[in-house]
Amino acid sequence: MRLIGKEEIENIAIGAALLGTGGGGDPFVGKMMALQAIEENGPVKLLSVDEVDDNDLIVPSAMMGAPTVLVEKLASGDEALKAFNALEEVLNKKIKATMPIEAGGVNSLLPLALAASVGLPVVDADGMGRAFPELQMVTFYLHDVSTTPMVLADEKGNSMVLNTVNGKWAEDIARAATMVMGGSVMNAIYPMSGKQVKASSIYHSLTLEENIGKVIKEAKANKQNPIEEVLQLLGGFKLFTGKVTDIERKTDGGFVRGKATIEGLDQNKGEQCYLEFQNENLMAKTDHEVLCMTPDLICVMDTDTALPFTTEGLRYGARTTVIGIPADEKWRTEKGIEVAGPRYFGYDQDFTPVEQLIRKAGK
């Protein structure tokens, strides 16, 4: 167990933006909520997975909806608390800790804000090791943990409890409800025992995000290349360097969908890279080859500052470096690829790991 304070939050926010692969919501919003909660209530206890009792009730907390909506419709902070209180009433059991549902964007930081407000610890783990757009795209689901009962709560005071037959039904019904409730909600979801958390989660997510933030800051201070340092930390690959020349983005069905075109610079001069996203970056390719595909991570960094871009923050003229990071091995299983691989998102090709694509391209 250790304490998470303001400095740790600042570093986690940088790492969350990177591992969010463009999605997960703007981490700045979650950072400000977490900083305010810590200012008012003190630091948060961060538990390693092995410190969780097998019989404890652990519930992830998260925002659901299109990331662009959250930027304009800020959460008050009360929604997550209402969702937790409602779920405790349904389950007739006290929640012992919360955790992120994903390692990315605002959803890495909201559990810390909630935990500081109510005095709960946070488990240093998550269900993705990155961000994904749909509720069933978590390692909990891969391990047959039930999505429901789950509670959705909005800023107007509305809340609802869902019990569904599987995670895909939970996604479809909750997505429709989210649209009616203004495009974004807070939820309490995947209630688990400590034993289930140990079996199904991806460990040390918040610590990894914190380390990413540290590495970028320290590399800058030491006049090193922060992007190269991040690649070394994560075992990643530089895919493309260029300037954004076009971006199409729309909110559709509760998701931000779109495509960015990057004109190559330096070693990629004369080429173009195309990023396709649904909240998160799903496919990176040129006119001749695929560079990286879901469930592996496609992250876009500012070439000059090394800070990550979200899909809603990507702008015309931005100088970018696109990197690819191997996904956690849970996602490279047959079930993982079925749930979040390229064919699920409508791409007519089988998943190929980023390291194989790099070798094939001779990079």
How would DSSP label each residue in 326-361? Answer: PPPGGGGSHHHHHHHSTTTTT-SS----HHHHHHHH
Residue 67 above 70 pLDDT? no
> Model confidence over 103-149: pLDDT tens digits?
988 899 999 999 998 899 999 999 999 999 899 999 999 999 999 99
* H/E element, 63: strand 57-65
| Mean pLDDT over each residue of the chain, to the nearest integer | 92
Confidence band (pLDDT; 50, 70, 90) for 81? Answer: confident
* H/E element, 243: strand 237-252
Residue 90: Cβ within 10 Å count: 16
> Model confidence over 34-59: pLDDT tens digits?
999 999 999 999 999 999 999 999 99
How far apart, in whole angstroms, are the C-alpha atoms of residue 202 and residue 329? 10
Asked if 241 contacts 268 with a C-beta cutoff of 8 angstroms, the reply is yes
Confidence band (pLDDT; 50, 70, 90) for 78? Answer: confident
Least confident of 8-12, 22-26, 61-65: 22-26
Q: Strand 202-203 vs strand 122-123: parallel, antiparallel, or unpaired? A: unpaired
How far apart, in whole angstroms, are the C-alpha atoms of residue 299 and residue 297? 6
Tell me phi and psi for residue 205, to 5 degrees. Answer: -65, -50
In the chain, the percentage of residues whose pLDDT exceeds 90 is 80
Residue 363 above 80 pLDDT? no
Asked if 203 contacts 49 with a C-beta cutoff of 8 angstroms, the reply is yes
In the chain, the percentage of residues whose pLDDT exceeds 70 is 96
Residue 70 above 70 pLDDT? no
Residue located via tokens 């749930």: 339
Can you give the pTM of this predicted structure?
Answer: 0.93
In 3D, which of 110, 93, 78, 108 has the Cα closest to residue 194? 93
Least confident of 114-118, 159-163, 223-227: 114-118
Asked if 102 contacts 165 with a C-beta cutoff of 8 angstroms, the reply is no
pLDDT of residue 64: 86
